[in-house]
Amino acid sequence: SPRILVINPNTTAAMTDSIGACAAAAASPGTTVTAVTPAMGPASIESHYDEALAVPGMLAEIARAEADGSADGYVIACFGDPGLDAARELARGPVVGIAEAAMRTAAYLGRGFSVVTTLDRTRGRAEDLAAHYGLARFCRRVRACEIGVLALEEPGAREVVLAECRRAVTEDGSDAVVLGCAGMAELCAEISAEIGVPVVDGVAAATRTVETLVALGLRTGDRGEFARPPAKPYTGLLRDFQVA
């Protein structure tokens, strides 16, 4: 049975627990889902700086799982898809980010989707990812709740997210809404029930996507761009990142 490692690239264990529960709920009965928190990195990812500093800790989790042979595929559970291409160089099995999975899934559901994310400053990243994945024509708008990632747990946050999702339907004419943060995963069912269009949570979408790729015996091509990185020294805090 497939073993999926879900990596929360930030270092907030409570978020890892919530993400892991959503991934496990989405997975098929025979699939094993393990969620992990990196040993180092930002408490949340809300800027390019946070995203850059999340990558080494996330990659270390993939390197460990590859050394153990303990995972058949990986989910990177942050809406910036941090370190996705580097992860694909290290992993034998498929690696899927929650933004790519959610956007590709939403594109099956109609002519256009809106993304509802956290801080306004992260909207550009979501727009860039849509374009990078060839989905700019499907992504009608990226909206921000102006709620910090760790503030999603606070009272009143879910109402703000719900209101923004409603506006995505009434103002953007979107056929689907994508939740633009792993911290929103547990709100998906509730928001879906309220707004009358499909709501895509990237944690669930990525988990099922990895499961499907593994079941089809598919993995990242390792002939060229995504071959293992060339061996070389890394210094200072990165000295343990030398690839065998």
- Provide the binding-site residues for ligand 2AL, judged by CB under 6 A: 10, 44-46, 78-80, 117-118, 122, 149, 180-183
Nearest-approach distance from CB 46 to ligand 2AL, in angstroms: 6
The residues pairing with 116 across neighbouring beta strands, listed in sequence order, are 143, 179
- The secondary structure of 144-207 as a DSSP string is E----GGGGGSTTHHHHHHHHHHHHHHHH--SEEEE-SGGGGGGHHHHHHHHSS-EEEHHHHHH
For ligand 2AL, give the closer residue by CB, 4 or 58: 58
For ligand 2AL, give the closer residue by CB, 2 or 99: 99
For ligand 2AL, give the closer residue by CB, 147 or 226: 147
Nearest-approach distance from CB 2 to ligand 2AL, in angstroms: 23
> Cα-Cα-Cα-Cα dihedral of 50, 131, 202, 104, to 10°?
-160
Nearest-approach distance from CB 180 to ligand 2AL, in angstroms: 5
Distances (CA, A) of 153 to 55, 113, 194, 206: 24, 25, 19, 22
Nearest-approach distance from CB 30 to ligand 2AL, in angstroms: 27
What span, in angstroms and rounded, lies between the C-alpha atoms of 105 and 100? 8
For ligand 2AL, give the closer residue by CB, 72 or 101: 101
Nearest-approach distance from CB 122 to ligand 2AL, in angstroms: 4
For ligand 2AL, give the closer residue by CB, 42 or 112: 42
